[in-house]
Amino acid sequence: MSRKANIIFIMADQLAAPALPAYGHKVVKAPHIQGLAERGAVFDAAYCNSPLCAPSRFSMLSGRLPSEIGAYDNAAEFPATVPTFAHMLRLGGYRTILSGKMHFVGPDQLHGFEERLTTDIYPADFGWAADWERPERRLDFYHTMLSVVEADACRRSQQIDFDEEVAYQAERRIYDLARDGDERPFFLLVSFTHPHDPYTIGQEYWDLYRPEDIDLPAVPALAREDMDPHSQRLHDALGLADYALTEARIRNARRAYYGAISYVDAKVGRLLATLEAAGLAEDSIVVFAADHGDMLGERGLWYKMCFYEWAARVPLIVAAPERFGPGRIAQPVSLIDLFPTLQDLGGLAGLELPEALPGRSLLPLMEGGEGGPEAVHGEYLGEAAVGPLLMIRRGRYKYVLGTDSPPQLFDLEADPQELSNLSGQAALAEVEDGFAREAAQRWDLEALRAEVIADQRRRRFVQEAQLIGAHTPWDFQPIFDASESYARNTRAILGDLENRARLPYRESPAPDGPGALRRES
């Protein structure tokens, strides 16, 4: 590429890597994502750094773990002073554009993006703050099992409304980028809310799957008493005992989820086709990822909020045919590695950052070499917990430790379904001791718990005050100036304006004859 590559980053919400055909799923239909995988680098062990929407996204954008930036839960403020990869790319000469969900909380709703094309689907205030001091209380914003019980096809939903707008605005902006004459490369982040629950999808995508083809969870539901303590709290917070989770209801929920993946896949196809039609495909790198996964009934759990593979392992695919060929990468990586990776992909390795980041560029791995992170670290600091839940993935082993939960140690090569907790086994004592020492050096569980609780109290106090009297919301308001749209007398001559809006552009031919009238300037 003779100039810096454009980068289009497509995000799905709550899309578990094991649910994609690119990662071995036999039922789900996602041909466009599969096509990306066949011509790009596929990371087989990519993890979110927090299995919850806002903390995962803030961590990914900043390249730092959630506890370092106060990204505790879905109502934690993302401070405006935290640099993001959008700031980095913008300083490096990129146009930075966001269409869709980022779940920014707080007054700053841009965080380095020069343009934001849509509002968000979720609120920007502190109303969804967790409360670790009252773990027995089920808060209004918690997921419930109604999404499973009521899973079905629909004609329209809030999620469909949102994603249709996200796709439309992104596609139109791609055409604008091809026509507007700005020579800067662009970074466009297109973030969909599907396949996030509720488990409902349009009839077209529901009908892609037959009930008898829908696979049941590979690991059946565990009785509450057989669950680890954190899973027991999830059981209670989600109300897993409130409804009979019959085989039919589980199949319906998974069918709707698979249909939602196919819906996202169709949007991916449209975006790639738009890049091609706009003449930008050859100069563009495509990244596809998700913020976290969905348990989808595995072990009897749903949604996310834990570090089992279906909740924590995410798809990560990077297609840049002019930079590297297709391949699969087994080394564990995480979303915080995207900051330095985008810096390298954007040709900005020399750009000085205000502080060192823990992530490592994945470009050497994608080019067939060595590098990347030594280990993956994760933190869950949100609802349905009473203290931090922490994860370390190194090599074949995953180690999970919680405030009141006994350690879990899994050998993911021998036991990919995480059926055997190897903690306490003499044969792995050295491995476990190494994980325990690392966790103790990295985290002070009690200090972190106290810090989170203090922050929860402050946010609940502020939120209560903010709702009294006149309320000024922080939710992003897209700016639309109709005076700069289409044909206006304050803009160029009509014929020139229409020609410039035409893609591909063509020069108007010179007149063949003298004409009867002259155009006035």
Q: Are the C-beta atoms of 362 and 40 separated by less than 8 Å?
A: no
Residue-level pLDDT at 498: 66
Q: What are phi and psi of 43, to 5 degrees?
A: -95, 115
CA dihedral 435, 437, 439, 440 (to 10 degrees): 160
Domain residue spans in the chain? 6-377
**Which DSSP letter does residue 510 get?**
P
3-state DSSP helix/strand/coil percent for the chain, to nearest 5? 35, 15, 50
**Which DSSP letter does residue 184 get?**
S
Q: Are the C-beta atoms of 453 and 76 separated by less than 8 Å?
A: no
Q: What angle is formed at CA 45 by the lines to CA 42 and CA 50, rounded to 5 degrees? A: 115
Tell me if residue 143 is catalytic: no
What is the chain's pLDDT, residue by residue, as a tens digit (521 residues)? 457 999 999 999 999 999 999 999 999 999 999 999 999 999 999 999 999 999 999 999 999 999 999 999 999 999 999 999 999 999 999 999 999 999 999 999 999 999 999 999 999 999 999 999 998 888 888 888 999 999 999 999 999 999 999 999 999 999 999 998 888 999 999 999 999 999 999 999 999 999 999 999 999 999 999 999 999 999 999 999 999 999 999 999 999 999 999 999 999 999 999 999 999 999 999 999 999 999 999 999 999 999 999 999 999 999 998 889 999 999 999 999 999 999 999 999 999 999 999 999 999 999 999 999 999 999 999 999 999 999 999 999 999 999 888 999 999 999 999 999 999 999 999 999 999 999 999 999 999 999 999 999 999 999 999 999 999 999 999 988 888 777 777 766 666 666 667 777 767 777 777 665 655 55
Query: Minimal CA–CA distance to 85: which of 306, 325, 287?
Result: 287
Residue-level pLDDT at 25: 97
Is beta strand 284-290 parallel, antiparallel or unpaired with respect to 41-43? unpaired
The separation between the first and the last C-alpha atoms of the chain, rounded to the nearest angstrom, is 41
Q: Which of 32, 48, 87, 103 is catalytic?
A: 103
**Token pair listed for 39:** 């011509």
Distance CA 332, CA 106 (A): 32
Q: Which of 48, 53, 194, 196 is catalytic?
A: 53
Q: Are the C-beta atoms of 33 and 215 separated by less than 8 Å?
A: no
Q: Are the C-beta atoms of 409 and 436 separated by less than 8 Å?
A: no
Tell me if residue 306 is catalytic: no
Q: Is 276 helix (H, G, I), strand (E, B) or coil?
A: helix
How buried is residue 482: exposed, middle or buried, by Cβ count under 10 Å (0-12/13-18/19+)?
A: exposed
Q: Which CATH architecture is the domain 6-377 placed in?
A: 3-Layer(aba) Sandwich (3.40)
